[in-house]
């Protein structure tokens, strides 16, 4: 069978387990005796081992198998968690992430067998106390044997007793027995809440087929692939391997619950029976009192019931009735969501066209006959858009969960004491935005750790705690999400930044003398600008900040910074909730229609020509005590304005962080919900244009990016 169809499922679940491991190992470092965390790491390693094995990734399976062995001993109390173990576990995590990246890119795990890490894991087991180890191993083997016997003992009352065999199937199984083959019946139960039970069934079948031949499947394999079965299925297997081998192979698949097995005995036909036969219960097939009953038995000692009795007794039927909903979520390919969003976008364009046509028709007829229906359509499309957007929204936790590990590693690399505090991990953003913000946040956190926080000695001299604090806070504000990276470190030395800027010719000494501190700090966002005395891979405040700004602005967001020398710095990222459909203000400049995002607009003002002043040869206006630069859009867009020099101007006041500016337009159209369309890679896009939209009359309007105009 081809496993490539389940590759995406494997990758998704592997990434979830790796994220869980990352969090759990960090928790284990601070709470080495926490049994819940220890059990969680064991379960994650066990699940990864089973998944890798069934997909054929042997190196990944071997590594997780050794991790599982270590934590099996930890659970038994044979090994205590030590600090050096945490480092080895993080090495394991890095190796697993490397395997996962290779699989995602090439469908192959690579050639690195990570033998040094595996030797370290084995050394942990070998270094435990001999008396404890010798006592634990036989006990463990005995427990396994007992578990296997329990499974075997419960065979008398499990579901393969009632599988119907025709003559040809019976002959095949009997012939296999005569040839000295082992013939076993297996019942495999899938855990409640499993999302893709067909995939789990397929992985079990693949694992069993590597050990033998499946002679009978109930339901048939086609029904299993089509998910036409309840939460369990039955297999009859001809094999040279033992019953334990089959059971362990099935249990190695994640989200598999109870697996029971029994031997086919053709003489008295206890385990399997022909369609016309009635099974005679076998006395020695009773389950021991310590064994949990199989799902189809009424008590631990109940014998297999004949098919007719089972149908009349109705014991199994109530199990299906009134089953509670365990899991109410599903995995959806992001491409399907993109397609759905595109359809909603087209619907909004069609709605805008209908509104435009209806307004024209009503104006011609002098009636408002269809306004109510149009308003209802607008309401429906808006609600549909919001619903689709909610489906696309994901918590930023998937991005920020890796940062505590990064800060831990930086603490050792830099020799500083620091701690990361995070809030708002459940804040949701559009999936396309979440996928892009990881690198900018990583740059800001690394710079806070390296250049922001002082050494423990310096902090002590300044009366600060020796352990520096870095904060990552996320929260929603209107139609935007705010992400703040703060630290209680040294802050930005404005004079050092100014000196560096003058030295590099970015500004003149005269400009530096009159520039406000805020503008000097913003020089750090220039490409390659840094005040770090020594450039390293995690360098100073300037490294990566141009990347941060360009990435955030490409997402229609903005980044700003506030700093106080000796107290600390706060870097603020403001991002829109969505990039696909926005509320905008439609304006006219030089006879052309343009859209400006409502999220960046503060107010709309009427300015008389006499109110415009010149400061350093630049036009400004005084708006309620604030001096704002005036930007004439017709000059930027290189078209002819339709307003005269003596006419009053319509000015749209836009903001970017703490800054504001006035955009001079010719005409105001009004508010409109628009769909953002990219201009395409063949069109050289101007910096001030972020995309285009299709209006109701079919006309194309460009969308202005006000962030780059300041």
What is the DSSP secondary-structure string of 107-161? SS--S---HHHHHHHHHHHHTS-HHHHHHHHHHHHHHHHHHHHHHHHGGGGSGGG
548-592 per-position pLDDT tens digit = 888 888 887 888 899 988 899 999 998 887 666 788 999 999 989
DSSP code of 279? P
pLDDT band at 470 (very low <50, low <70, confident <90, very high): very high
Architecture of the domain made up of 151-273 = 2-Layer Sandwich (3.30)
Q: What is the mean pLDDT of residues 165-183?
A: 83
Q: Is pLDDT of 663 > 90?
A: yes
pLDDT attached to residue 269: 42
Task: Report percent pLDDT > 70 for the chain.
Answer: 79
Instruction: Output the six-digit token pair for 290.
Output: 């310590």
| Strands across the sheet containing 418-423 | 418-423, 468-477, 480-487, 568-576, 558-564
Statement: 334-394 belongs to CATH 1.10.287: yes
Mean pLDDT across 53-59: 84
**Range in 128-137, 154-163, 338-347 the model is least confident about:** 128-137
Lowest-confidence region among 206-220, 276-290, 327-341: 276-290
Measured in degrees and rounded to the nearest 5, phi and psi for residue 395 equal: -65, 150
Which of 224-233, 339-348, 452-461, 539-548 is most confident? 452-461
pLDDT at 8: 80
CA atoms of 196 and 189, how far apart (whole Å): 13
Determine the length of the chain. 710
464-487: burial string, b at 16+ Cβ within 10 Å, e else: beeebbbbbbbeeeeebbbbbbbb
pLDDT band at 278 (very low <50, low <70, confident <90, very high): very low
Q: How far is CA 151 from CA 47, 206, 237, 284, 437, in A?
A: 21, 22, 16, 14, 50
pLDDT for residue 2 = 58
> Taking 90 as the threshold, does the pLDDT of residue 708 lie above it?
no
Q: How confident is the model at residue 156 (pLDDT cuts 50, 70, 90)?
A: very low
CA within 13 Å, CB half, 526: 17
Q: Output the pLDDT for position 193.
A: 73
Q: How far is CA 423 from CA 31, 349, 473, in A?
A: 21, 38, 5
The segment(s) of the chain belonging to CATH 1.20.120.160 are 4-128
The strand pairing partners of 691, in sequence order, are 703
Q: Report the range of poorest mean pLDDT among 31-45, 182-196, 358-372.
A: 358-372
Neighbours of 260 (CB within 10 A): 28
Please name every residue paired with 569 in a beta bridge, in sequence order, or none if there are none. Answer: 487, 563
662, pLDDT greater than 90? yes
pLDDT, tens digit, 9 for 90 and up, residues 381-415: 878 877 777 777 888 888 888 899 899 888 888 88
Q: List, for residues 413-451, the tens digit of each pLDDT value.
A: 888 999 999 999 888 888 878 888 888 999 999 989 988
Q: Where in the chain is the domain with CATH 2.40.50.180?
A: 581-709
* Average pLDDT of the chain, as a whole number: 78
Residue 356: pLDDT above 50? Answer: yes
Q: What is the largest CA-CA distance in the chain?
A: 109
Q: What are the start-end ranges of the H helices in 31-79?
A: 35-55, 58-76
Higher-scoring residue by pLDDT: 605, 168:
605
Q: Name the residue with higher pLDDT: 689 or 299.
A: 689
Q: Among 4-13, 143-152, 597-606, 623-632, which is the least confidently predicted range?
A: 143-152
Q: Could you give the residue numbers annotated as active site? A: 46, 68, 447
Chain region(s) in the chain for CATH 1.10.287: 334-394
Q: What is the pLDDT of residue 307?
A: 35
Which pLDDT score, from 0 to 100, does residue 160 have? 57
The pTM (predicted TM-score) of the whole model is 0.58
Looking at residue 365, its pLDDT comes to: 67
Is 396-576 a domain of CATH 3.60.130.10? no
Quick one: pLDDT band at residue 593, thresholds 50, 70, 90?
very high
Does the pLDDT value for residue 535 go beyond 70? Answer: no
Domain 4-128, CATH number (from 1.20.120.1200, 3.90.550.10, 1.20.120.160, 2.120.10.30): 1.20.120.160
Tens-digit pLDDT profile for residues 306-316: 333 333 333 33
pLDDT at 652 over 90: yes
Provide the pLDDT confidence category of residue 95 given band limits of 50, 70 and 90.
very high
Please list the residue range(s) of the chain that carry CATH number 3.30.70.1110.
151-273
- List the beta bridge partners of residue 618: 615
Q: Exposed, middle or buried, 345 (CB in 10 Å: 0-12/13-18/19+)?
A: buried
Confidence band of 603 (pLDDT split at 50, 70, 90): very high
Among the residues of 581-675, which ranges form H helices?
633-636
Q: pLDDT grade, residue 542 (50/70/90)? A: very low
CATH number listed for the domain at residues 581-709: 2.40.50.180
User: Parallel, antiparallel, or unpaired: how do β-strands 689-694 and 581-589 relate?
Assistant: unpaired
Q: Where in the chain is the domain with CATH 3.30.565.10?
A: 396-576
SS (H, E, C) 280-335: CCCHHHCCCCCCCCCCCCCCCCCCCCCHHHHHHHCCCHHHHCCCCCCCCCCCCCHH
């Amino acid at each position: 069978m081809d496993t490539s169809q389940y590759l995406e499922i494997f990758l998704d679940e592997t990434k979830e387990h790796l994220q869980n491991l990352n969090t759990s190992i960090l928790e284990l470092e601070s709470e080495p005796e926490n049994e819940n965390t220890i059990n969680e790491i064991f379960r994650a390693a066990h699940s990864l081992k089973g998944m890798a094995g069934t997909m054929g990734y042997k190196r990944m399976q071997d590594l997780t198998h050794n991790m599982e062995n270590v934590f099996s001993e930890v659970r038994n109390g044979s090994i205590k968690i030590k600090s050096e173990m945490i480092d080895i576990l993080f090495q394991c995590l890095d190796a697993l992430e490397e395997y996962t990246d290779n699989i995602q890119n090439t469908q192959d795990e690579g050639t690195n067998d990570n033998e040094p890490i595996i030797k370290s894991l084995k050394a942990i087991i070998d270094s435990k106390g001999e008396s404890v180890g010798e006592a634990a191993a036989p006990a463990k083997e005995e427990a396994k044997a007992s578990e296997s016997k329990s499974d075997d003992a419960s065979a008398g009352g499990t579901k393969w007793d009632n599988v119907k065999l025709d003559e040809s199937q019976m002959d095949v199984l009997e012939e296999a027995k005569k040839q000295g083959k082992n013939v076993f019946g297996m019942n495999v139960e899938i855990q409640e809440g499993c999302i893709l039970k067909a995939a789990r069934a397929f992985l079990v079948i693949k694992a069993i087929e590597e050990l033998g031949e499946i002679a009978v499947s109930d339901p048939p394999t086609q029904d299993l692939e089509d998910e036409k079965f309840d939460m369990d299925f039955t297999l009859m297997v001809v094999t040279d391997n033992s019953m334990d081998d089959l059971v362990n192979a099935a249990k190695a698949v994640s989200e598999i619950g109870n697996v029971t097995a029994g031997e086919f005995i053709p003489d008295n036909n206890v385990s399997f029976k022909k369609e016309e036969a009635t099974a005679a219960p076998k006395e020695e097939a009773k389950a021991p009192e310590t064994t949990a009953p199989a799902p189809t038995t009424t008590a631990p000692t109940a014998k297999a019931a004949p098919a007719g009795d089972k149908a009349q007794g109705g014991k199994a039927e109530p199990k299906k009735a009134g089953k509670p909903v365990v899991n109410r979520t599903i995995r959806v390919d992001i491409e399907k969501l993109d397609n759905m969003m595109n359809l909603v976008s087209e619907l909004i364009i069609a709605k805008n066209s209908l509104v435009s046509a209806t307004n024209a028709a009503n104006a011609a007829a002098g009636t408002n006959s269809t306004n109510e229906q149009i308003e209802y359509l607008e309401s429906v499309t808006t609600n549909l858009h919001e619903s689709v957007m909610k489906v696309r929204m994901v918590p930023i936790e998937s991005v920020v969960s890796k940062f505590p590990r990064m800060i831990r590693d930086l603490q050792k690399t830099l020799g500083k004491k620091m701690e990361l505090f995070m809030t708002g991990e459940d804040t949701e953003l559009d999936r396309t935005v979440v996928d892009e913000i990881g690198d900018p946040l990583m740059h800001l956190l690394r710079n806070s750790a390296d250049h922001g926080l002082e050494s423990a000695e310096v902090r002590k001299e300044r009366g600060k705690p020796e352990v520096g604090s870095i904060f990552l806070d996320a929260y929603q504000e209107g139609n935007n999400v705010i992400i703040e990276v703060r630290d209680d470190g040294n802050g930005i030395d404005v004079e050092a930044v100014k000196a560096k800027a003058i030295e590099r010719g970015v500004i003149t000494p005269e400009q530096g003398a009159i520039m406000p501190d805020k503008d000097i700090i913003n020089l750090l966002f220039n490409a390659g600008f840094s005040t770090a005395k020594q450039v390293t891979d995690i360098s100073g405040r300037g490294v990566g900040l141009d990347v941060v700004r360009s990435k955030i602005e490409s997402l229609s967001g903005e980044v700003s910074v506030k700093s106080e020398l000796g107290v600390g710095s706060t870097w603020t990222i403001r991002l829109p909730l969505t990039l696909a459909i926005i509320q905008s203000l439609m304006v006219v400049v030089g006879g052309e229609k343009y859209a400006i995002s409502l999220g960046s607009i503060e107010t709309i003002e009427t300015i008389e020509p006499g109110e415009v002043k010149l400061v350093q040869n630049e036009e400004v206006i005084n708006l309620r005590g604030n001096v704002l630069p005036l930007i004439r859009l017709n000059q930027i867009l290189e078209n002819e304005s339709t307003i005269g020099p003596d006419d009053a101007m319509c000015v749209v006041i836009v903001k970017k962080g703490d800054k504001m500016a006035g955009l001079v337009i010719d005409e105001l159209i009004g508010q409109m919900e628009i769909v953002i369309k990219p201009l395409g890679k063949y069109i050289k896009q101007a910096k001030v244009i972020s995309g285009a939209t299709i209006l109701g009359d079919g006309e194309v309007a460009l969308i202005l990016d006000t962030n780059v105009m300041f």
